[in-house]
Homo-oligomer: A and B are copies of this chain.
Amino acid sequence: MSAVESTPPARRGRGRPGNDQAAVLRAAIELFTRKGYDATSIGDLAKELGVTKSAIYHHFESKEDLLRLALDDALGELTSVVESASRDDRLSAYERLREVVRRSVEVLVSHQPSVTLLLRVRGNTAIEQGALERRRWLDDRLADLVRAAVADGALRADVPANLVSRLLFGMVNSLVEWLRADGSYDARTVADAVTTIAFDGLAIERR
């Protein structure tokens, strides 16, 4: 269920027990998120894991390599959610949007460490710039779906579409701030809550 389980299997198997590639990537994601990517060195990571720097270079070419894999993990999952919903011709724009929101929440819960890192990226390096560009592509697809659902008459037209997509993903992304600390909800409960609040609304009486 953690971010590192989706690293390509082909890269595994060179590690020593307990300090294999997956564990190094997991520790790197945690350290990048806690200390910031710029402030973290391979030496810091080695110290955190209690191994030598060369043990890390055994698995990864560079710090950039670790960042790229971590961000690819989060972006790959989120991109796949958007692309698979877009391909399903049986669904209306509204149903696709609802599906994208639901499945994004599930990705966020199951890949929380790498998504948290993705959301903290500020674009200081080429890899971060590339990740921000892929995030903007995802945001644009979501805004397209909102506009299409409004055009179909399935979504209310009195809230600007760009504001809707910002707030929808704002609510989804806010999960990284508290979900781990809380720990008492599974992915399905949280996905149900987000989609119910956003699409059906909390109020029982319509106004």
Contacts and interface: CB of A to CB of B under 8 A. Distances in A.
Interface of A: 94, 153-156, 158-160, 163-164, 166-171, 173-175, 177-178, 182, 185, 189-190, 192-194, 196-207
Given A199-B202, A203-B155, A174 B163 contact: no
A189 B190 CA distance: 27
A200 B197 contact: no
Residue in A156, A169, A170, A194 whose Cβ sees the most chain B Cβ within 10 Å: A170
Contact of A201 (B160, B163, B173, B198): B198
Contacts of A167: 171, 174, 193-194, 197
Nearest to A200: B201
Nearest to A122: B34
A168 to B, nearest CB: 8
21 contacts: A153-B204, A156-B196, A156-B202, A158-B196, A159-B193, A159-B197, A160-B185, A160-B189, A164-B193, A166-B178, A167-B171, A167-B174, A167-B193, A169-B174, A170-B177, A170-B178, A171-B174, A173-B177, A199-B201, A199-B203, A201-B202
A185 B177 CA distance: 25
A207 to B, nearest CB: 7
Given A170-B175, A175-B170, A197 B154 contact: no
How many copies the complex holds: the figure is: 2
In order of increasing CB-CB distance, the 7 nearest A-B pairs are: A170-B174, A201-B201, A171-B171, A199-B203, A200-B201, A159-B193, A163-B193
B182 A166 contact: yes
Contact of A170 (B170, B192, B201): B170
A101 to B, nearest CB: 10
Contacts of A155: 202-204
Given A160-B189, A170-B170, A197-B198, 7 more contacts: A155-B204, A167-B171, A170-B177, A197-B201, A199-B201, A200-B206, A201-B201
Contacts of A175: 170
